[in-house]
Amino acid sequence: ETGVTQTPRHLVMGMTNKKSLKCEQHLGHNAMYWYKQSAKKPLELMFVYSLEERVENNSVPSRFSPECPNSSHLFLHLHTLQPEDSALYLCASSRGRQTNYGYTFGSGTRLTVV
Amino acid sequence: AQSVTQLGSHVSVSEGALVLLRCNYSSSVPPYLFWYVQYPNQGLQLLLKYTTGATLVKGINGFEAEFKKSETSFHLTKPSAHMSDAAEYFCAVRRTQGGSEKLVFGKGMKLTVNP
């Protein structure tokens, strides 16, 4: 248990489905991140939230929609995905935007789009 | 912008042998450097970090890394590999931009430990 919990652990969805990934942390952190990890590619930072405000969106397609209702929860809403969106989606949190403590990661959601 | 390079994608060692995973960085400001480990079907776990102070940093599971400014390196080592060390290892650096910070990761190195 790392302190960052992601659900579900595995998700299979069709291209016309709508689903959501959930991330929860009770570490007192106030910055949260979504990363995409695809096979043979570097980790891709998708979104950054600081104090519940989106501060970074790295050219992510609109079929991915993040939501941060409070500092403990982060969602990634998915709709009309493509097979190339299949990947491990990792959530992370940190103490503010400072990096000196590093990030704490969840175990990820393995997404398969069929 | 700050970045890290991990050359190669796979390292194989025998159990009990030295583990050496290389990381070189590029940074115009004093770097913060990190090593993370990812076990199969898990997220990333912090192994160790260098921010300031002592250049030899000790982490969990017997790993250590040395910050060498002259070589722009932060290589990860462990004297004797265990089977349980088989995982993927990521080097990361702090990137500063417009007053904000974030971690930027290398592409990772898969470590295989042979019996």
Q: What's the pLDDT tens digit per position in B58-101?
A: 999 999 999 999 999 999 999 999 999 999 999 999 888 777 78
Q: Which residues in B67-99 are b (16+ Cβ under 10 Å) and which e?
A: beeeeebbbbebeebeeebbbbbbbbbbbbeee
Asked if residue A1 has pLDDT above 70, the reply is no
pLDDT band for position A2 (cuts 50, 70, 90): low
CB-CB neighbors (< 8 A) of A93 in chain B: none
C-alpha angle with apex A79: A112 to A49, nearest 5 degrees? 95
Q: Rounded to whole angstroms, what are the CA distances from A109 to A90, A91, B43, B69?
A: 7, 9, 9, 37
Of the candidates B45, B101, B102, the beta carbon closest to that of A2 is on: B45
Q: What's the pLDDT tens digit per position in A7-40?
A: 999 999 999 899 999 999 989 998 999 999 998 7
Of the candidates A42, A90, A106, the beta carbon closest to that of B107 is on: A42
Measured CA to CA, the distance from residue B44 to residue A91 in angstroms comes to: 10
